[in-house]
Amino acid sequence: MWLERFQILCDDLETCTPLCVIAFLFKLLGVRSSIFFLYVENVARVKKLSLSGFMHYKLRKADQLFVQWPQLQNKYPRAHYVGSLM
């Protein structure tokens, strides 16, 4: 196979949400089970997740959700704190 593992890296833009939904549906249907979806929350989000970040967190659509502030990781324990990515 030319594409054994497919990775999607999304940031906090609402424009990437349709792509992420399509990838999630592919995983559910078994079309492409090797899709790995990473979501990186915007550095400007200090107190709460954005709407798209909250949606990916609550619905467990992202394989890993990265936040850039430690207080967000405390509030959302499944999120991974990675520090500033800039």
Return the domain boundaries, the chain: 37-85
pLDDT higher for 61 or 31?
61
Q: Using one digit for the tens of pLDDT, what is the confidence trace for 4-26?
A: 566 777 776 667 778 777 777 87
Q: Measuring CA to CA, which residue among 7, 32, 23, 85 is closest to residue 59? A: 23
- Please give the residue that has the higher pLDDT: either 24 or 48: 48
Q: What percent of the chain has a predicted confidence (pLDDT) above 70?
A: 85
Name the more confident of 81 and 21. Answer: 81
| Residue-level pLDDT at 1 | 43
